[in-house]
A and B are shown apart, each in its own frame.
Chain A
Amino acid sequence: MGRLTEGRQGNPYPPHWVNWLLNRFSPVGLEDELQGDLLEMHTYWVKTVGPSRARWRYTLAVLRLIRPFTSSINKQSHNYSEHSTWQPAMIRNYLKIAWRNLLRYKAFSAINIVGLATGMAVAMLIGLWIYDELSFDRQPKESDHIAQVWQIVQFDGQKAAYNVASIPLAQELRSHYPDFDRLALATAEREAVLATGENRFTQTGRFVESDFLPMMSVRMRTGPIKNLTDVNTIVLSQSLSTKLFGSEDPLNHLVRLDNKVSLRVTGVYQDFPINSSFNTIHYLAPWPLFLRIDQGAKSARDNWDENSYQVFAQVKEGASLAQASAKIKDIRMKQENPPPYKPEFFLHPMTQWHLYSNFDNGVNTGGLIQVVWLFSLIGGFVLLLACINFMNLSTARSQQRAKEVGLRKVVGSLRGQLITQFLGETLLLTSLAFVVALGLVQLSLPFFNQLADKQITILWFNPYFWAIGVGFSLITGLIAASYPALYLSSFQPISVLKGSFSAGQQSSLPRKALVVFQFTVSVTLIIGTCIVLRQIDYAKNRPTGYSRQGLLEIPMRTPALMGHFDALRTDLLATGAIQEMAISNMSVTADKTGVTNVSWPGKSPDLHPLFMTNQVSHQFGRTIGWRVSAGRDFSTAFSRDSLAVVVNQSALKLMGLKDPLHSMIHWNGRDLPIVGIINDMIKDSPFGHVQPTLFVLYDASAGVLTLRLTPTMAISDALTKIAGIFQQYDPSTPFAYKFVDEEYRKKFSTEERIGKLATLFASLAIFISCLGMFGLASFMAEQRRKEIGIRKVLGATVLTLWALLAKDFVGLVLLGCVLASPIAWYFLHEWLQSYTYRTQISGWVFVLSGVGALSISMLTVSYQSIKAALMNPVNALKND
């Protein structure tokens, strides 16, 4: 490259091309000193490190100094080049013009900004919601190494997955499977009464093994993290500790649990965050205590098939959950006398608990993740609608500025400047919309949080949020501006200024396509919402098999109530507040205890179906009002009823007995005669099958009291009376009750939430679409002012003019409806498949949605067309 040596004294000279670079590109005003300095440096380098490295360093130094943005000392003193797009005067002018345009077409600008802002706000809300859903259960440090042990069991060919395991299984995992770092047995969430002095609260919590705390990275406020080894201890959540002890330090104070044992508080932990599966856990009690105080736990200790507990595991660093999961699959089948339901164990990763919790026939079928997908799709589409609107209106509007473009060109604007101007103007609008959207989101968050049952906040400090928001505004702006910027700037000034310019057919075609697309999306959303709402209604109207009104449930936890059922009942009946009262093992709104060891005459030996069971007192049927379809209810008149069974219709159908009322079923080593058959009652999901169920008489294990209130007495009066009696029998427990119809309503909460959100989004979608159409209609009316004027002069009526303007849109909306129907049908058909008890998709939903969309859009358009048709033709024509 450069010459190696030059100069008399054998002093090497720096390479020529580098000097040329330095000359050409060195920062303005610094050429002289830099060249001098570098020359000196070169001499110095030749002396110290030799000519070749000197050349190298010289080149590097020059390259680094000439980078285009090297700040120069005298930068401020330099003049702008003569033809800069960035002349402050020009920028001021652009801003002024943009501002004037904004103000002159107030309605237009408002529609444009509000429409885009609404779309952005919806997308933001949905984005925040999705962010919240995806952040579930990520709090533990090793959350991707943590899993819960589940099992897939087979009943009668059908597979079902449960998140329970047995105590020996945990021991086995601990002793024979080295993959696990930590392992913790835990009970399911359970309610307990925690009391200190006069303060008593019913709270949910768990009994856990001590590994649970470090595994879940429970954050201790006070107390060590390894503190659940002592039997009589407990750790409390911060909120519960405040409720019980106020601001006092709770450490080493005593708390009474279910009025059975006194426990020493050894720690307080920060409440689990709302986006944790443990967010309702307010106390953690030691596992050894559970083994000591729980009746069932004693027998469960060595019983492999007492699957009532939960096991959480953390695999070692480097081990994979999938491999560990494969290893434990047959852990039960390898033991002695494997059960007929052939359990296969697996690890359900913590990161999937929340979003992937549905299992169908033993295969994970997703769960909430589908809703996440659905909503991201909806959010994306609503945003797209808003963008399309924005582009549509911007391009439509831009034609009015053709003259401005012509004039600017005549005065000497370059094309580049015009492009910059239009881009800048649109970006200004999108940034405005972004700010408005942020405001809208902030305002609507409380409402949205209530609807979605969340505690979402705007991620003010999350760089990704800003990057996405700003990036999105930029992209929308760029796309929306590209058409006017590129198209308008290409006009021949002479044709524009002469007035012979008109936007041709080709420019309205894409706009029409966009309107069709908008209405396809909106109508799809409307149809979807209708069907979701109908499905909810359908399930709500499903007969429950008992009467929920005025039914009250009271859990019995403490020993005080256990032995006194009859006395309690007599006292309560005496107050007149209740009509009847019963005790049962399980709540009428839950379906949790199942058995497979039932047999009956004619049963094939390899069939092991799952029967749900409930133990009830004699009054149970009368209390809840179940309907006996054959035989009779339990009765005190028959002493042998203690060995009788009442079955529901589903159980009858499953067993296929010819003469059920004279048959016996065999269960737990006993033959039980069927005395009655009741209509199916919905206890579990109102969207699923009713499980075959057996009812037997109660034999005194912990349970639930069910009370039927006297309908003629005011509920508040009745409750006061009932509470009084309960306080007499069990003064240590706060009186807590649940209304059965409320519990039942909760079964719909997921679907209702989806329904409400879908309604919200569909209305916003149609709102945005109509906003866009409103703008377009007014634009078209404006464009055809003169035509309308002449038509009016020639005798056209308002009606014909209205039809003239409206017919353009009718076709587009209708086309949108036609396109939307198959799409909506396909998606909703898929969605409905996930429900066993589902409504039919009927044709009138489509027709009604189409008619609805059409009439709303007609209303929108009519306003503009009638306004245009009523105009005085003189005003339109007097200019020419």
Chain B
Amino acid sequence: MKRGFLGELEEVVLLTVAALQEGAYCASITQTIDQQMGRSISFPTVHTALQRLEEKGFVASQMGGATAERGGRQKRLFSVTAAGHRVLIESRQVRAQLWAQIPTPIQQLWGA
């Protein structure tokens, strides 16, 4: 398995997986992103992103319970692996560092 960098979309998907905890499967992730980010994202895109994240070892998956609303079919439930945690924390640190480098007056000017 190759470990790679985390793309922007992958990061969003990975964060959503982390946020949804037990209830993270492809459809729910897509819907969450759709609702919370106000950004239209297609289902296949998320599907591919998840596959890639799994290849990179940032998420793990297992088959989960079926519900009626999905015609009794099984779900593939995703959870964030340790490597996934690490990469998320790293990326947050990088961002925090960069934020800290923006002078405070300017941040205030932006209303940040």
Contact = CB atoms under 8 A, between A and B. Distances in A.
Contacts of A32: 73-74
Given A61-B44, A71-B51, A73-B61, A39 B71 contact: yes
B74 A33 contact: yes
B26 A33 contact: yes
A37 B26 CA distance: 7
A420 interface: no
Contact of B75 (A37, A43, A48): A37
Where chain B touches its partner, the secondary structure class is: helix
B44 A43 contact: no
A408 interface: no
Interface string A30-58: 00111111111101100010000000010
A39 B74 CA distance: 12
A64 interface: yes
B9 interface: no
B44 A65 contact: yes
Nearest to B52: A71
Contact of B76 (A33, A48, A57, A70): A33
Interface in B1-47: 25-28, 30-31, 34, 42-44, 47
A60 B43 CA distance: 9
A811 to B, nearest CB: 63
A35 B31 contact: no
A60 B63 CA distance: 25
Interface string A365-388: 000000000000000000000000
A433 to B, nearest CB: 34
B41 to A, nearest CB: 11
B67 to A, nearest CB: 8
A64 B31 CA distance: 18
Contacts of B31: 41, 44
Contacts of B69: 39-40, 43
A37 B74 contact: no
A36 B42 contact: no
Contact of B27 (A41, A48, A60, A73): A41
A41 B63 contact: no
B70 A64 contact: no
A33 B61 CA distance: 12
A41 B28 CA distance: 8
A740 to B, nearest CB: 69
A36 B71 contact: yes
A751 to B, nearest CB: 59
Contacts of A37: 25-27, 43, 47, 70, 75
Interface string A65-83: 1000011110000000000
Interface in A11-38: 32-38
B66 interface: yes
A64 B26 contact: no
B55 to A, nearest CB: 8
A302 to B, nearest CB: 64
B75 A61 contact: no
B72 to A, nearest CB: 8
Nearest to A33: B76
A39 to B, nearest CB: 5
Contact of A61 (B25, B42, B73, B76): B42
A78 to B, nearest CB: 16
Where chain A touches its partner, the secondary structure class is: helix
B35 to A, nearest CB: 8
A36 B70 contact: yes
Interface string B58-94: 0001010010011101111000000000000000000
Contacts of B43: 37-38, 41, 57, 61, 65
B42 A40 contact: no
A40 B61 contact: no
Contacts of B27: 36-38, 40-41, 44
Chain B CB within 10 Å, residue with most, of A33, A44, A60: A33
A73 B76 CA distance: 11
Nearest to A48: B34
B71 A35 contact: yes
A556 B14 CA distance: 81
A410 to B, nearest CB: 44
Contacts of A60: 42
A596 B68 CA distance: 104
Chain A CB within 10 Å, residue with most, of B31, B63, B70: B70
Contact of A35 (B30, B51, B73): B73
Given A44-B27, A61-B43, A73 B73 contact: no
Contact of B44 (A39, A64, A71, A72): A64
Contacts of A71: 51
Given A60-B42, A71-B51, A73-B61, A36 B66 contact: yes
A682 to B, nearest CB: 71
Interface string A283-318: 000000000000000000000000000000000000
B70 A39 contact: yes
A99 B30 CA distance: 53
A564 B51 CA distance: 90
A70 B49 CA distance: 12
A33 B63 contact: yes
Nearest to A38: B43
Contacts of A43: 69
A43 B74 CA distance: 17
B44 A36 contact: no
Contacts of A73: 51, 54, 61
A33 B75 contact: yes
Nearest to A63: B44
Contacts of A64: 42, 44
B74 A36 contact: yes
B12 to A, nearest CB: 18
B42 to A, nearest CB: 6
Contact of A65 (B47, B71, B73, B75): B47
A849 to B, nearest CB: 62
A64 B61 CA distance: 22
A35 B43 CA distance: 12
A44 B30 CA distance: 10
A72 B70 CA distance: 21
A45 to B, nearest CB: 9
A452 to B, nearest CB: 46
B46 to A, nearest CB: 10
Given A35-B71, A61-B43, A73-B51, A41 B66 contact: no
A65 B26 CA distance: 13
B62 to A, nearest CB: 11
Nearest to A70: B48
Nearest to B64: A33
Contacts of B44: 61, 64-65
A57 B41 CA distance: 11
A638 B101 CA distance: 95
B81 to A, nearest CB: 15
A575 B79 CA distance: 100
Contacts of A41: 27, 30-31, 43
Contacts of A72: 51
B86 to A, nearest CB: 22
Given A41-B27, A41-B31, A65-B44, A36 B61 contact: no
Q: Which 3 A-B pairs have the closest CB atoms?
A: A36-B73, A36-B70, A64-B44
Interface of A: 32-41, 43-44, 48, 57, 60-61, 64-65, 70-73
7 contacts: A33-B74, A33-B76, A36-B71, A37-B47, A40-B70, A41-B30, A44-B34
Given A39-B71, A61-B44, 13 more contacts: A32-B73, A33-B74, A33-B75, A33-B76, A35-B70, A35-B73, A37-B26, A38-B43, A39-B69, A44-B31, A60-B42, A65-B47, A73-B54
